[in-house]
Chain A
Amino acid sequence: MRVNGEPYPHRAGLTLHALLRDLGIEPERVAVAVGDDFYPGARVPDRPLEPDDVIEIVRIIGGG
């Protein structure tokens, strides 16, 4: 499993909500992609994660 470009240890039963909790991330402040599925932070489903999932967790910052 990869999270934001880095390898991340997968464990049996890991879900998206649990991952965000592990990372200390408040879902409403971010957006999440699992593969080609895109979720607003407030509507992140508690879907099970697979060992080969590619996950992006992003936020808005200042930019031009």
Chain B
Amino acid sequence: MTDPPLSDPLLLGGRTFTSRLMLGTGKFRDLALMRDVLEVSETQIVTVAIRRVELRSPGHVGLLDALDLCRYQLLPNTAGCRTAEEAVRVARLARAATGVSWVKLEVIADPRWLLPDPVGTLRAAELLVAEGFTVLPYVQPDAVLARALERVGCAAVMPLASPIGTGRGLRTGDLLHTVLDGAGVPTVVDAGLGVPSDAAQALEAGADAVLVNTAIAEARDPVAMARAFALGVRAGRLGYLAGRMAQRACAHPSSPPQGVPRLPDPEQPA
């Protein structure tokens, strides 16, 4: 018997990927640790952020120098942008800085919960698609919004599992199902995943990929956690492809109920 394949390709933005685990590059102690994490995670898509150069101390070790750009599809984000206009501007700066037209679109007007602004996100997505960007918008799990983003030409949608950086897992589970069900573009569950089983559950439910940052960067052993997430993603995807059993309300024995070598029932006369 041949083993079932541990991965099937992910088609996204006109490219083919073997890994379904995207990684964020924030919050790592140092660049060497980040590189080790990327290596063991087998990731092929990594997010980066755009920030102003500090004018008083412009020197820095460049993140781009630490990344093998032949191996990774860069996915610059617009994190921190509060309006569609800011996000479009940062996407253009990101394209100039990286030469990459992919963008993880974030329009976040709510600083406490970091929840995305659906109206601003849709408006920015439309503008960026028209400029030739491959747009992956970060959204609340809203199926109507997800379909609208598909219609304007987004390459994927990225619904949140729980608020960014919380590690609380799939708190939006039932709503996520409404986005996954019938999605016409890949769905990437992003934000709030805390442990590998969260990633496995997302893939089992039909998500095409997940994006993880804080859960790995803030683990006691980030390299081990990166490996664990890679395995969780593979397990979840394989489980999804295998097709889960139907759930039942009542118990159903796994051993045949007939032929049990019983003792006489003391309640019954012989």
Contact = CB atoms under 8 A, between A and B. Distances in A.
Interface of A: 3-6, 23-25, 29-33, 38-41, 56-64
B49 A61 contact: yes
B97 A25 contact: no
Interface of B: 24-28, 34, 47-53, 55, 58-60, 62-64, 76-77, 79, 89, 92-99, 164-165, 211, 213-214
A58 B96 CA distance: 10
B48 A58 contact: no
Contact of B50 (A6, A40, A60): A60
Given A62-B63, A63-B79, A3 B55 contact: yes
B164 A64 contact: yes
27 contacts: A3-B55, A4-B55, A5-B52, A6-B55, A25-B53, A29-B64, A31-B96, A32-B96, A33-B96, A41-B97, A56-B93, A57-B52, A58-B51, A58-B93, A59-B97, A60-B50, A60-B62, A60-B98, A62-B25, A62-B27, A62-B28, A62-B63, A63-B25, A63-B26, A63-B48, A63-B49, A64-B165
- Taking chain A's interface residues, is the majority helix, strand, or loop, or is none over half, making it mixed? strand
A9 to B, nearest CB: 13
Nearest to B96: A31
B49 A33 contact: no
Given A23-B58, A63-B24, A64-B77, A56 B48 contact: no
